[in-house]
């Protein structure tokens, strides 16, 4: 058994867990037990995994380390909620969808609506065939 240091995705707090850590960490695998931060209850990722993920992000500019870190959360909407400042302790609990969970969805819908309106203003007027009644 080895002691593995974990970092919280929310408050950057540290905690330690003992378990059989892999000899070689891979940035695409979520190896290890689910660990929640003792301070804020947020999801945590192992620091050795982060080092491997950081090296991969430096090699491939399309990858984003923060997005990879958020992947350790059990919440399917963690990226949206985190960006809106809604991520909290209850996000890691197996609870039904809460109103705050819909804020990200509504934000996305509003953004799409604005884009569609902008496209409609730019598009040339179309002739619409009228049906005889």
Element of type H or E holding 48: helix 47-59
Residue 39 is predicted with a pLDDT of: 93
Residue 11 is predicted with a pLDDT of: 92
pTM above 0.85, yes or no: no
Q: What band does 132 get if pLDDT is binned at 50, 70 and 90?
A: low
Q: What band does 125 get if pLDDT is binned at 50, 70 and 90?
A: low
Element of type H or E holding 37: none
Residue 120 is predicted with a pLDDT of: 83
Spatial separation of the C-alpha atoms in residues 6 and 29, rounded to whole Å: 15
pLDDT (tens digit per residue) in 68-91: 999 899 888 888 888 888 888 888
pLDDT (tens digit per residue) in 1-38: 789 999 999 999 999 988 888 888 888 887 778 899 99
The closest alpha carbon to 50, from 90, 105, 12, belongs to 12
Residue 62 is predicted with a pLDDT of: 93
Residue 6 is predicted with a pLDDT of: 94
pLDDT (tens digit per residue) in 46-65: 999 999 999 999 999 999 99
Structure tokens at 125: 């007027």
């Amino acid at each position: 058994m080895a002691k593995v240091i974990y970092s919280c995705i929310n408050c950057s707090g540290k905690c330690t867990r003992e378990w059989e850590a892999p000899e070689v960490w891979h940035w695409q695998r979520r190896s290890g037990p689910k660990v929640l931060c003792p301070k804020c209850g947020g999801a945590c990722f192992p620091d050795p995994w982060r080092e491997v993920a950081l090296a991969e992000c430096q090699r491939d500019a399309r990858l984003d380390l923060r997005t990879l870190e958020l992947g350790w959360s059990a919440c399917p909407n963690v990226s949206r909620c985190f960006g809106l400042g809604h991520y909290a302790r209850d996000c890691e609990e197996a609870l039904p969808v809460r109103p705050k969970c819909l804020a990200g969805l509504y934000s996305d819908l509003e953004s799409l609506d604005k884009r569609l309106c902008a496209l409609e203003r730019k598009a040339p007027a179309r002739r619409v065939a009228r049906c005889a009644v």
